[in-house]
Amino acid sequence: MPTRPKHTRDWTPAPGQQPQASCCPLPAGVSPLPAASGPAAGEAERLAAAAKALSDPIRLRMLKQMAAARCGRRPAAPGTSGGAPDGVCVCELQGLHGLAQSKVSYHLKVLREAGLIHETKRGKWGFYALNETAARSALAELGGLLGL
């Protein structure tokens, strides 16, 4: 049975292990890369999920619409009970993006699994809203990871 290579593109040395030496010599006066400690595995997975969720233009527009709805929603008529809905209904997102319900649900699932939005059920309808705390935290952590 063939053996797998020890090193792959995604291989990271375990704590206490030394990384493999560089394949090419560094020019005089150039320092090697510092051994920086990255995020823990769980944190890296969470940040990667947030980055993936933010990598699609449709999902970015959905997040923008949820943020705008948070600020601009008012009750349909004066004196109605319940106030503004908590979030945006799936049917609204379908109409805005011209997508099938299954596609909208897929994009919402990615955003929800990344923790960037939350769902409130009202009867058979789901309303989705921006999780502002999680969104701010993910963006700050991604910036911090890159030293920005």
- Chain segment 77-104, per-residue pLDDT in tens: 444 444 455 789 888 898 888 899 899 9
What average pLDDT does the chain have? 79
CA dist 52 and 126 (Å) reads 23
Token output for 103: 């596609």
Q: What is the pLDDT of residue 59?
A: 95
* Listed residue (54, 65, 119) closest to 96, CA to CA: 65
Show Cβ contacts of residue 45 under 8 Å, excluding neighbours closer than 6 positions.
none
Show Cβ contacts of residue 112 under 8 Å, excluding neighbours closer than 6 positions.
118, 119, 128
Could you state, in order of their start, the residue ranges of all structural domains in the chain?
Answer: 42-72+85-145
CA dist 108 and 116 (Å) reads 10
- Chain segment 105-128, per-residue pLDDT in tens: 999 999 999 999 999 988 888 899
Helix (H, G, I), strand (E, B) or coil at 121: strand
Name the helix (H) or strand (E) containing 88: strand 88-89
Distances (CA, A) of 129 to 13, 86, 95, 97: 40, 7, 17, 17
CATH class of the domain comprising 42-72+85-145? mainly alpha
pTM of the entire predicted model: 0.67
Question: Is the pLDDT confidence value at 75 over 70?
Answer: no
CA dist 103 and 97 (Å) reads 10
